[in-house]
Structure 1
Amino acid sequence: MTNANPQRSDPFSPAPLGPLTLRNRLIKCATFEGVTPDALVTDDLIEFHREVAAGGVAMSTVAYCAISPEGRTDRHQIWMRPEAMGGLRKLTDAIHGEGALAAAQLGHAGPVANSVSNRAKALGPSRIPAPMGMSLTHKVTAEDIKDLRVKFRRAARIAVDSGFDGLEIHCGHNYLISCFLSPLLNHRHDGYGGTLVNRARLAREVAESVREEVGDEAAVWVKLNMFDGVGKPGGGGRRWSGFNIDEACEVARLLERDGHLDAIEPTAGSSLLNPMYLFHGDAPRAAFADAFRGAMHWGLKAAGPFFLKHYDYHDGYLLPLARRLRAAVDLPLILLGGVTDRASMDLALGEGFDFVAMGRALLREPDLPLRIASDPATTSQCTHCNLCMPTIYSHTRCPVRTGEVPAG
């Protein structure tokens, strides 16, 4: 299958995404900002996204917007409820005031949730480890799945009524929906386990519920893992392999056939098993361990080399896998992973991707898009040291930009 959309040559040209028209093809991807201590929007969160919007992206994605209290990675994250709407409206107004659109990443953390912090059991497709809470997950029942669909629907309505233009359903990184997709983590024997079609059922049902709720009031897409970073990208050794690119292509085809989505954002890696596969670059093991206390601190000290692996960084590092997805479906795709300059943007668009997503580079320089638009020879100052990653537990930032560590 080939991409039905014509190739685009200018990343700064307006572009359609479902019912929306974006001012360019640059999207700030979802990165948890760590500035919502009461699970509500703060002035710091508003300023973070306002600054990114003023820096030139077409859309800024707010994460993490959990659908329920136990769906947070910890109790400090926003969960979508009426009490949050006033702050969410101020946030979307600030983004809109800078000429950009606002997206909300909706999801459930599943086994990545800290059950101790949330004071609620972490959920999983099966009884699997939930290491942040030093516990096992509660195996989701058929009634739980019905409830999850209702909660996704309710969260989507709250987001749209709070001014969000786009909704990203999190199906990546071994959060709950991603765990259902994984043959390594999903040990079920009912209609949600076993075959790939069964493992994909929850993702498809959630996409259907969200679209039914919002119609054309918002663009809807999924963040879909291409490879969990466990086993081989193309499968093989099934017992010890997670979700892989062959299965991702088939799930993407199923989602496209259902007709509920406006796009897919391919991603990779596992917050549960292999987080560095998403990021590539330096693995800041000591900084990660120092972000925790007690057993988690010492556990990361001991397991750091195994859990935080090193993958060499190069621009467009997820492109080889994403090409497979591009060939599999006609839906618009948002390329994530190592998009930092005009050359990587042009490469993505030239290969049929419709949008590009930026993350760490915007932490370093929120105005990078404007500067690239003004001078295509502009290069990012982000060195991919990944010292920003452990800051999500305190206040997400680039420690080089803030002067906490020296540049270079």
Structure 2
Amino acid sequence: MTNTETTGAAEAPEVLAPATLGPVRLRNRIIKAATYEGLSHKSLVTRDLVDFHVAYARGGVGMTTVAYCAVAREGRTDRHQIHWTDEAMPGLRKLTDAVHAEGAAVSAQIGHGGPVASPKGNGLPALAPTKHFHATTLSWAKETTLDDIARITEAHAEAARRAIQAGFDAVEVHLGHNYLASSFLSPRINKRTDTYGGNLENRARFAREIMRAVRDAVGDRIAIIAKMNMDDGVPGGFWLDEAIPVAQWLEQDGTVDALEMTAGSSLLNPMYLFKGDAPLKEFADVMPQPIKLGVKLVGKQKLRSYPYTDAYLLEDARQIRAAVKLPMILLGGITGKPVMDLAMREGFEFVAMARALLREPDLVNRIQADATTPSLCIHCNKCMPTNFTGTRCVLVDRSTTRRQDWGRPAGYVS
């Protein structure tokens, strides 16, 4: 059925058993999902960033995901975010070596922030399919030209090649959350009239070209994951009825080893992915003026809260599961062994955990020791605003993993 091990035609695989993802052998089927760490500095890896991922590797995950490594300077969503420069490579190698030493694999999330990028921090205009105003940055993203499309497509390929050089086992290509490729998919944001706009085939062209370039660049030397929206969470946006055929096209193209389906728009509805509480006060506290005032005045309209349930993306993701034979990674509300087992029974080959591991980096080890171990995450989402100062669970004092050594990138750590 897939390229992963199963225990029988009608039997679900064991989530804690080894599995194969593309060319990569993982010790189990649990992936630390990409959560922007806020721990890089001047686009270089820091000791804190290495320690962040080593904690999850030591804690038992099969693979951890470094989020996020921009393919171009103007594609960064934070001025300190990593992008694939010569200067970044030594630190990235130290990070992958450290994770491998703990027995886990490591993936690099690559992509371009597009209209979600930070023009002020980057010193460059943000890009969108067509001119778009970003209320958070209070600035306009300029229209992406055909030359930009060609340049950024090749930049994804180069990022994947550099990921191999840095020792990564996989790349996760970001096609979600209304970052650049996702904004092209969205009929609400993409108003182009050329071959990259209009009908779904045109709007999907950029994402497919990116995936083709990545596959052609790396072949089967590393695993390739596509992280793609099922639902933007906004009226008139990309939705499941279009996500299904795009997933099928990616499968037909032969450019991905696994699909990780996600939801929400960092541009227009950021809380839609996370479910649970919307921490308005905490967001306002870390924002500069006048954005701070805006969060206080209209935060309830822009940062809406949604009820949390375990496996909250399953209902939509199972419709993708039924439409493709590609291995799939279930994201969203993966908190313990019962939910993981449910994902396996539903035909998913892997699960991705984020907030539960921020709360307890060693949760996988503890689940292996006792399958009834519950997650302590309460889905307050107060971890979200911390990505400006070092992503963490605010309920745990883990000060040794926070930004401490701004002056010494990990490329120079002994």
TM interval, short-chain normalised: over 0.9
Number of residues paired by the alignment?
Answer: 394
CA distance in 2, matches of 1:33, 1:377: 29
Taking the TM superposition and a 5 Å limit, the aligned residue runs for 1:249-398 are: 249-398=244-393
Instruction: Verify the 8 A CA contact 1:82 1:158 in the aligned structure 2.
Output: no
Distance 1:249 1:200 in 2: 12
Compute the displacement of 1:3 (Å): 7.4
Please tell me the residue identity of whatever aligns with 2:96. Answer: T
Trace 1:216-235 onto structure 2 (pairs within 5 A). Answer: 216-231=220-235
Q: Residue 173 of structure 1: which of 177, 197, 200 is its match?
A: 177
Q: Distance between the aligned counterparts of 1:403 and 1:25, measured in 2?
A: 26
Counterpart residue number, 1:238: none
Q: Deviations over 1:48-72 (max 9, x none)?
A: 0001000000000001100011000
8 Å Cα contact 1:81-1:158 kept in structure 2: no
Residue 118 of structure 1 aligns to which amino acid in structure 2? N
> What is residue 41 of structure 2 aligned with on the other side?
37
TM-score, normalised on structure 2? 0.93
Distance in 2 between residues matched to 1:303 and 1:402, nearest whole Å: 31
8 A contact 1:111–1:137 mirrored in 2: yes
Task: Give the unaligned 5+ runs of structure 2.
Answer: 400-414
Structural mapping, 1:119-198, within 5 Å: 119-198=123-202
- C-alpha separation between the residues in 2 aligned to 1:105 and 1:64? 5
Post-superposition offset of 1:303: 1.8
- The amino acid of 2:145's aligned partner reads T
**In 1, are the aligned partners of 2:3 and 2:22 still within 8 Å (CA)?**
no
Distance in 1, matches of 2:91 and 2:3, equals: 39
Q: 8 Å contact 2:100–2:106 — kept in the other structure? A: yes
Moved more, 133-142 or 350-359: 133-142
Deviation at 1:403, TM superposition (A): 8.0
> Once the 2 structures are TM-superposed, how far is the Cα of residue 138 of structure 1 from its aligned partner?
1.2
Greater Cα shift, 29-38 or 345-354:
29-38
From 76, 80, 85, give the equivalent of 1:81.
85
Aligned to 1:235: none
Query: In structure 2, what is the equivalent of residue 92 of structure 1?
Result: 96
1:244 matches 2:239 = yes
- Calculate the aligned-residue CA RMSD, in Å: 1.3
Q: Deviations over 1:301-329 (max 9, x none)?
A: 12211111111111000111101111111
Indicate conservation of the 8 Å contact 1:23/1:100, yes or no.
yes
Amino acid at match of 1:98: E
* Alignment partners' CA distance in 2, 1:215 and 1:303: 47
- Inter-partner Cα distance in structure 2 for 1:80 and 1:301: 36
Residue identity matched to 2:337: R
* Cα deviation 1:37-96 (Å, max 9, x = unaligned): 211000000000001000000000001100011000021100111110000000000100
SS at 1:226 equivalent: strand
Q: Is the Cα contact below 8 Å between 1:152 and 1:209 reproduced in 2?
A: yes
Instruction: Label 1:37 to 1:4 Cα distance change in 2 as closer, same or farther (>3 A).
Output: closer
Instruction: Point out where structure 1 has 5 or more consecutive residues left out of the alignment.
Output: 232-240
Cα 1:328–1:84 change in 2 (3 A) is same
Q: Which stretches of structure 1, 4 residues or longer, exceed 2 Å deviation after superposition? A: 2-9, 130-133
Residue 352 of structure 1 aligns to which amino acid in structure 2?
G
Q: CA deviation at 1:134?
A: 1.5
Residue 395 of structure 2 aligns to which amino acid in structure 1?
V
Q: Look up the match of 1:111.
A: 115
Deviation of the 1:4 alpha carbon: 8.8
CA distance in 2, matches of 1:173, 1:202: 15
2:233 & 2:79 partners in 1: Cα distance? 27
Distance 1:23 1:399, change over 3 A: same
Which residue identity does 1:170 align to in structure 2?
Answer: H
Give the match's secondary structure for 1:294: coil
SS in 2 for 1:38: coil
Q: What is residue 234 of structure 1 aligned with on the other side? A: none
Match of 1:57 in 2: 61
Cα distance, 1:403–1:257 mapped onto 2, change above 3 Å: closer
